[in-house]
Structure 1
Amino acid sequence: MFRFKQFTIQQERAAMKVCTDACVLGAWSGVATGIRLLDIGTGTGLLALMVAQRNADARIDAVELDADAAQQACDNVMNSPFANRVTVAQASIQAFADTMPAQFYDHILTNPPFYTNSLRSPDAAVNRALHSDELPFPDLIRVVHRLLKQDGAWWVLLPPPESDRLVTLAQKVGLQPVRQLYLRHQPQKPVFRHLTEFRFAEAAAPQIAELSIREHDGQTYTPDFRRLLQPYYLVF
């Protein structure tokens, strides 16, 4: 269980637990505006609930393939103050997208599976959450390209190599990276995640910023991290 200031995430039935980088995505993405938002691969419902907290006007569709995780997300939503604004759907995003009108969403968020040839887990749910078999990048881009409004934004969290590959594929359909956050565990550690904002735009170099979670001592949270997560974390 992970308690935030305005909601609680139960996670015993979900393969992917609450992680710091996903929390950073929810806090960093520009979701304070927009009415219709989509969370692709919601897992426990974390991102959907973070969006609901930040945007009182948002109506969020949270889609999850795994049945146990989808039920967990549904329970978390129902036990939150935002139950009337978040809808959880248990489906593949490919099938879900086929039921929706084109250019329906103001914004889209996703923390997608990214492993391809790495060691598999004996747990099928873990494999679905971590490996891209069920949602390869070309499928993800096709879904976003169809559902995102022309003036909307798409936020994605990935390791650097996979992020670079997604950027290359997305640019081919006119989705350009306009803003990126490079995430480090500590200032002296390598970047381990790229957070990227895509928009339908002319190609240009994205604005790049960096964020370290903790100071050099590995214990103290950095001021920038504290400022970003202060609306959510109880310890701040």
Structure 2
Amino acid sequence: MKSFKFKQFEIQQSKNVFRVGTDGVLLGALADVESASHILEVGTGTGLISLMLAQRNPNADFFGLDINEEAVALTTLNFENSPFRTRLKNKHQDFKTFETEYKFDLIVSNPPYFEESGSDKDKIARQTVELNFKQLVSKAAQLLSESGLFSVIIPVEAGDIFISIAIENQLYLNRKVDIKGIENSKPKRLVLEFSPMEKELQESEFIIEKSPRQYSDQYLELTKEFHVFNKS
């Protein structure tokens, strides 16, 4: 499968591992990584999000987990081929049974979000088979530092239930970004950031395309340090 080239790194892809997509790019570009030193990604896939965050924060170290052995091998390859290789590690591990003495300043995840279906396509990555929202949130709450952040991108329809699960685990919504696929449409995704510390909620809106196949100025500005855009 064709690799995906960014300005500072390249992502090798596989037909059996969830591929580079807009959701991952948005989380990698929007997650609040500036103050973090120790970062955990749950469900690395290709390693895209950790690589974007490593580019944004040159002082942080990263640890990634994935339950899919092929994804771990792919992430390892992409990490090792990047200019950030010395700060990136990953492991074949079920997040539910992950144990560490460390607390993380930032935990990021583009989590499974479809209920189980008859399709095998992207089964682990795209369905809540191996890791549901309750398991994800409760484990993240245990591993966050006192001032840490938990950042996810999820479908807008799942927002209310995800936020309620977070509250049950003493995680408070600090930031909410409504993601619209195209201008004048309804939001389709949410970037949510939680913390053990209750703060004033910051809300914003983000538009990916101003018209079909035409990226918005907002998206171009956000991703200008990553994407190699073809000049028209």
Query: What TM-score, normalized by structure 2, do the two folds share?
Result: 0.93
The total of aligned residue pairs comes to 228
**2:118 counterpart letter in structure 1:** R
Identity of matched residues, %:
29
The structure-2 alpha-carbon separation of the partners of 1:179 and 1:42, relative to structure 1 and needing over 3 Å to count, comes to same
SS in 2 for 1:31: coil
1:56-75 superposed matches below 5 A = 56-75=58-77
Flag structure 2 segments of 5+ consecutive residues without an equivalent: none
Q: What residue number does 2:51 align with?
A: 49
Residue 208 of structure 1: aligned partner:
203
SS class of match (1:214) = strand
What's the offset of the Cα at 1:62? 0.7
Q: Which amino acid in 1 is paired with 2:206?
A: L
Matches within 5 A, 1:1-236: 1-96=3-98, 98=99, 100-101=100-101, 104-117=103-116, 119-123=117-121, 126-202=122-198, 206-215=201-210, 217-235=211-229
Check whether the contact 1:14–1:72 (CA below 8 A) recurs between aligned residues. no
Where has structure 1 moved over 3 Å in runs of 4 or more? none
Tell me the secondary structure at the aligned position of residue 33 of structure 1: coil
Shift of 1:202: 3.0
Mapped to 2, the partners of 1:105 and 1:203 lie a distance apart of 19
Q: Could you list the per-position Cα deviations for residues 149-181 of structure 1 after superposition, in whole angstroms to 9, with x for gaps in the alignment?
A: 010111001001222211101111210111111
CA distance in 2, matches of 1:197, 1:78: 29
CA contact (8 A) 2:23 2:110 kept: no
Contact 2:182 2:209 in 1 (8 A): yes
Counterpart CA distance in 2 for 1:173 and 1:202 is: 13
Distance 2:198 2:27 in 1: 24
Q: Gaps (5+ residues) in structure 1? A: none
Q: Which moved more, 1:34-43 or 1:11-20?
A: 11-20
Q: CA deviation at 1:207?
A: 1.9
Which deviations, in whole Å up to 9, do the C-alpha atoms of 1:2-24 show, x marking residues without a partner? 10000001111542111112101
Residue 221 of structure 1, CA deviation: 1.5
Q: Is the 8 A contact 1:179 1:198 kept in 2?
A: yes
What amino acid is the match of 1:107? L
